Structure 1
Amino acid sequence: MLEPPAFPKLSNPCNPIDPKVIEQILAALQPPLNHYKGFYDARKQTCNNGSKIEKLARCWDTQGRRCTNVSVNIEEPVTFFNDSFLIRQKIGEGGFGKVYLVLDTEDYAVNQNEKKSSRALKSETPSSALEFYIIRKLQERINSPTIDSIISVHSLYYYKNESYMVMEFVHQGTILDAVNRAKRENTQLDELLVFFFTIELLKTIESIHEAGIIHGDIKADNCLLRLEPVEEWDIQYDPSGANGWSKKGIKIIDFGRSIDVTLFPDDMKFIAEWVTDDQDCVEMREGRPWKWQADYYGLAGIVHCMLHNRYMQITPVLVETNTFISGPATMAVKKYKPILSFKRYWQGELWQKLFDLLLNPLLVTKDGQMPITQQLKNIREEFEQHLIQNCEKNGKSLIGMLKKLERNR
């Protein structure tokens, strides 16, 4: 029987995305990374496919149409080990990585239907295996339909100087895209839709946390819409996923800043040694230790974005409360709330309850214990009951709203 990995000797708190910390953590894995399905170990070799991929991607516009006056052979595949891919357009770019739409040539040779052979290819320089490891662990630890709400990974080609991760391709855009589209039309997402996606987010974050993972970068553009075709879809919302509802939801992506807390001592806290912004939790911005707060704040930010068409800003308020953090006494404590208030015709009491929970997790349980997964589940179930009772009411239809989102993609 394999022994659990010994904890690396790290300062507490530590920066979880420090390359040296990640290297120590991944080096201690048992079994090691090269035993993981889909991991292609070429860390002693260099790879120079980056410029070729970029050149091929420039042959396509953002709508996936081939550019005119292109002299490059767009059918020339890019090869990693024995696997080859046809490069289509660039679909994303961040500080360390780029994401491309590609076609798996093995599938492509058999079936000309691009959607069946489409993949997302993420290149990173310098090479990184953290995201691949995190997603593999989530696939291993989550034994429920919620796994469909997490991006799946096919393989990682890990070279000395760069890495390439092949993932499923989801083409229906992000929550941020949906919000921005509504904003351009001088409207906003209906509260019923916000309820639906909030439930899906809560459900997914609960499962991720129960698996011992902190995502670390939860935001609206890291949350894809998952609106799969379904033959029979009942108009009555069913939170169990029955009657077609399991095919509708979200897909969380970008686990590049994620943390497997099982690889650290229980009392380990983390510190953000990077440039922060309003989408990061208060502790990160103030240079204080944090842990699960990162995801709670990120989740609150997405919900706020859906409700108000803008990023969340918060304000502190002093309240008197019975707290157990410094002993069983009544004292004034600082709580946070969004600056923008809820519209009078919204379900203000439920939204207030949710934001109180997500923005003040240290005040939820005795001694400030986290994660607060059970409390998230409790409020999710309240949201589900509201949606069950109101999914088809006063001329509004949740299923109709979701179908409209599908058509707009």
Structure 2
Amino acid sequence: MKKINPTIKKFYGYHLSTKSYTGKVALSTLKNASRNKIQKPAFPWEFYMYRQLDMRITGRERSSYGLAQRIHLYADCSILICDYLAHGTLQDVINTYAVQGKPMEEVLCIYYTIEMLHMVETLHGVGLIHGDFKPDNLLIRYARDDLTEEGFLDRSGPWCDQGLCLVDWGRGIVLDLFPDDIVDAYGLCVVVHMMLHNCYMEIAKEESSDGGYMYLPKQRFKRYWNVALWKNFFTKMLNQYPGNDDRRLLQELKKSFQDYISSDPKMIKALRELLAKQRTSIK
């Protein structure tokens, strides 16, 4: 079969560059809703992980984990065709606060923390690990309709389409083959720490009340935050051991954040306003 050498141009945002493509990902010139990920040498594992997602996660949850349409394999490279979301990443959201020199609003941090806990809980429940959990691998999803106060807890109505989408599965792990479910927990902590503090997480070893020790972030929590909520999150997530009930812990932590944010209708209202503002400010 004759080898095809497609011409690929690189987009910077919505502006087409005339320079030849040198990076790993380009938006397709043929379909506005797809992107081409070029890897040298060929790397079919990521496509395999996307197909595992297709088989193991169904229904409304599937849109939270990226979609791969097909892969083209050649002797020296592969081209993975993926769906494209044009709303930026969680890293972009964090950066908008960093350039202003202020932290993200706590209610928005809590919302995205709930989303990530739910995503990791779902993944681990079907035996999959992402392996590279970081904010620039979390694309932003927006609901087509306006968000309402109803449906937040059970992710129904417009809230079903609002949230995050985890992409770039090249370091994904199938737990049936390689059992290790702690790596995503640490990555999730790093993302939450970046939202709260605008900096990468550094860990300190501290004495615990039972005479042992535990790991906690070096950066201290702001006193006007819900310190008990965040300390409980980091303490439990950073001090897991192999064999612990990972999914039960994720469910308990998710519920603690949901209960807090649902305890005051003003927080849901503030969250809706912040998400609407975020949508207009990040293009």
Structure 2 length-normalised TM:
0.91
Counterpart contact for 1:47–1:161, Cα < 8 Å: no
Structure with the bigger RCO (C-alpha within 8 Å, sep 6+) is 2
The alpha carbon displacement at 1:222 in A equals 1.0
Any idea what SS the aligned residue of 1:392 has?
A: helix
Counterparts of 2:189 and 2:274, CA distance in 1 = 22
Write the distance in 2 (CA, Å) between the matches of 1:262 and 1:298.
Answer: 21
2:101 corresponds to: 186
Matched, 1:65 2:15: yes
Query: Equivalents in 2 of 1:102, 1:401: separation in Å?
Result: 32
Counterparts of 1:17-96 in structure 2, within 5 Å, are: 48-49=5-6, 52-53=7-8, 56-57=9-10, 60=11, 62-66=12-16, 93=23
Residues of 2 paired with 1:167 and 1:197: CA distance?
A: 24
8 Å CA contact 1:46, 1:162 repeated in 2: no
> Is 1:378 aligned with 2:256?
no
Is 1:244 the counterpart of 2:145? The answer is no
Q: Which runs of 5+ in 2 are unaligned?
A: none
The equivalent residue for 1:256 is 170
CA RMSD of aligned residues (A): 2.4
Number of the residue aligned with 1:311: 200
Partner of 1:121: 36
CA distance in 2, matches of 1:358, 1:227: 28
Deviation of the 1:183 alpha carbon? 1.4
Structure number with greater Rg is 1
Query: Equivalences for 1:3-402 in 2 at 5 Å?
Result: 48-49=5-6, 52-53=7-8, 56-57=9-10, 60=11, 62-66=12-16, 93=23, 98-104=24-30, 117-230=32-145, 232-236=146-150, 238-264=152-178, 291-319=180-208, 321=210, 332-362=211-241, 368-370=242-244, 372-393=246-267, 397-402=270-275
Aligned length: 282
Cα drift, residue 334 of structure 1: 3.3
Whole-angstrom distance in 1 between the partners of 2:273 and 2:46: 36
Q: CA deviation at 1:160?
A: 2.0
Is contact 2:131–2:183 with CA below 8 Å preserved after alignment? yes
CA offsets 1:370-396 (integer angstroms, 9 cap, x no match): 451111101101111112223525x96
**Residue 404 of structure 1, aligned match among 266, 277, 280:** 277
CA contact (8 A) 1:319 1:333 kept: yes
Q: Distance in 2 between matches of 1:180 and 1:293?
A: 27
Q: Taking structure 1 as reference, are residues 236 and 397 closer, same or farther at Cα in structure 2, changes over 3 Å only? A: farther
Q: How far is 1:350 from its partner?
A: 1.1
After superposition, what is the alpha-carbon deviation per residue over 1:305-363, rounded to whole angstroms, capped at 9, x for unaligned? 00111111111113354xxxxxxxxxx4331100011111111111111101111111x
SS at match of 1:157: strand
Name the TM-score, length of structure 1 as normaliser.
0.64
Which residue identity lines up with residue 235 of structure 1 in the other structure? E
Q: Distance in 2 between matches of 1:187 and 1:162?
A: 43
Quote the residue 1:275 is aligned against: none
User: Which residue identity lines up with residue 15 of structure 2 in the other structure?
Assistant: R
Q: Distance in 2 between matches of 1:208 and 1:353?
A: 22
Match for 2:55: what amino acid?
Answer: E
Distance, in Å, in 2 between the alignment partners of 1:387 and 1:144 is 26
d(CA) in 2 for partners of 1:47, 1:390: 59
Deviation at 1:46, TM superposition (A): 5.4
Structure 2 CA distance for aligned equivalents of residues 352 and 46 of structure 1: 56
Partner secondary structure for residue 244 of structure 1:
helix
Instruction: Report if aligned partners of 2:94, 2:104 keep a CA contact under 8 Å in 1.
Output: yes
Q: Deviations over 1:157-182 (max 9, x none)?
A: 12221111111101111111111111
Structure 1 spans left out of the alignment, 5+ residues: 1-41, 73-88, 106-116, 269-290, 322-331, 363-367
TM-aligned CA distance change 1:315 to 1:144, over 3 Å:
farther
Percent pairwise identity: 28
Contact 1:120 1:167 in 2 (8 A): yes
